[in-house]
Structures are given as structure tokens and as C-alpha cells.
Amino acid sequence: MTGRKPVVGIPASVFNVRQFPLHAIGHLNATATARVSHCHPMVIPALGDDIDARDMVGHLDGLLLTGGASNIEPHHYEGPPARDGDMHDPERDSTTLPLIRAAIDAGVPVFAICRGFQEFNVALGGTLHQFLHEVPGRIDHRRDRTKPMQAQMGVCHDISLRKGGLLAEMAGAETTGVNSLHGQGIDKAAPGTTVEATAPDSTIEALSVNGARSFAVGVQWHPEFDAEGNNFYRALFEAFGAAARARTEQRRETS
């Protein structure tokens, strides 16, 4: 790699540790960004309105939305009230949703994973199923916590990739296997997006933004769990990194 490495912003989740709020991202998201996308990962604290989204994306070459333990507050997509005990992270919601819209508008590459995929859909006008396993005809997409961690994170079902689509090109096939660790899922895909992949039960597993100026893709699974070893997962992070480098070069030429 030559020249300045792209900077990829990764919005944090808020965790309370001994009653102190901390802003954190997953280690594997950072290492996949650094080792496979070949970009500098930068944590964006979940400060909501204290961050000017349009100004922030002006400093970025890419935006990575990650998974998380919490769910998006349903008022963001006019969903029914959450059940008691459902974990939310309103600071993250108020940070990521504007950042997604601002990044796509500015042509900043966006790669959204799991909770980030759901944020991606909601930010663009889509809706969610809050309890996907309770929807008739759907399988349980949650991980089996009784299994060893490696098995929990391993490939557990196939997905069908859109013929001729972006992900099918990366996979070199129209079907491939992915892991599954989510309790919520896409109900209605956002206007202006294309479904790039579906699970055997018709659950939407990936979306892309129609006519986006750069890479703008969300996936429901967790490619960061084997980003260096799984060829398809690696291809996703490599494509995101290539788009971020193109953004870096564009910024250099116009500065």
C-alpha cells in the first residue's frame, strides 16, 4: 500500500461499566478494517446531536456500522412499542442514523453489519421485525449460546445471492454460507435499495443502495468473525477498502 491510508469511522456502542458509560467497538471490527480493508479504524463516540454528521463524514474515507448487543428504538421506524427488558442504545441510534444518511449523500463508502445493517435500513426509510423468530414461516436466526463460541460464530445457513448482483460477483456463486446471530431482521426494505441476498426463509440478508456514488452495502451476518479466512467475507472487506481508497484519492485530487 502506498500513500495515506483511508480513515474509516466506526460508531461506538455505549456500555455501562461500574456505572460509568464507555464508548466501545468490537475488536474484530477494528482488526478486519486494519488488516483486510487496509484502512485506519477510528472510533466515533456515540454523542448524538453533539456530532455534526455532515462535518464528520467530511473527515472520513469510509463508514463501518457494526453489530451490537442493543436494538434500535422502534420509534425510529414507527414500530410497535418495545417489550420490557429489550436493550436499547439511544445515543448510538442518534449518532448512526444521521451519519448513514450524510455518508451516502456525500459519496462516502458505507459498510453495515448486523445491527448496523438494521440501522442502514431504518436510516433510509425501512422497517424491522422486532422478534423475527415469531414471524410465521421464519427460522430462529439467533445464535445457540449452548454451543462453544467458535460454533456459535460459524457458518450455519446458506443465502441466495441476486443473480448478477454485487455480492454474487464477490462470492463467485449465487449461493454461499453465512453465520447468523440476530434476533431482529428486515421487515420492509428501504426505498431506493436492492435486495442482494435472502435466507432460505426469505429473510433479507443484504441490501445495496441504488445509484449510490460509492460502496453502500449492508449485510445481516457477521463477516468480521472470519474476515481473513473466509473468501467471501474477505471480499466484502476488500471491496469496502478499495472504495475507501478511491475516496481518499478523490479527496487528494480535489484538495
Residue 182 is among the residues annotated as catalytic for this protein: no
Residue pair 174/168 in contact (Cβ under 8 Å)? The answer is yes
CA proximity to 112, closest of 31, 191, 209: 209
Residue 114 is among the residues annotated as catalytic for this protein: yes
Radius of gyration of the chain (CA): 17
Catalytic residue among 39, 73, 114, 129: 114
What does the H/E/C string look like for the chain? CCCCCCEEEEECEEEEECCEEEEECCHHHHHHHHHCCCCEEEEECCCHHHCCHHHHHCCCCEEEECCCCCECCHHHHCCCCCCCCCCECHHHHHHHHHHHHHHHHHCCCEEEECHHHHHHHHHCCCCEECCHHHCCCCCCCCCCCCCCHHHHCCCCEEEEECCCCHHHHHHCCCEEEECCCCCCEECCCCCCEEEEEECCCCCEEEEEECCCCCCEEEECCCHHHHCCCCHHHHHHHHHHHHHHHHHHHHHHHHC
Residue 253 is among the residues annotated as catalytic for this protein: no
Catalytic residue among 129, 141, 182, 222: 222
Q: Would you name the residues annotated as active-site residues?
A: 114, 222, 224
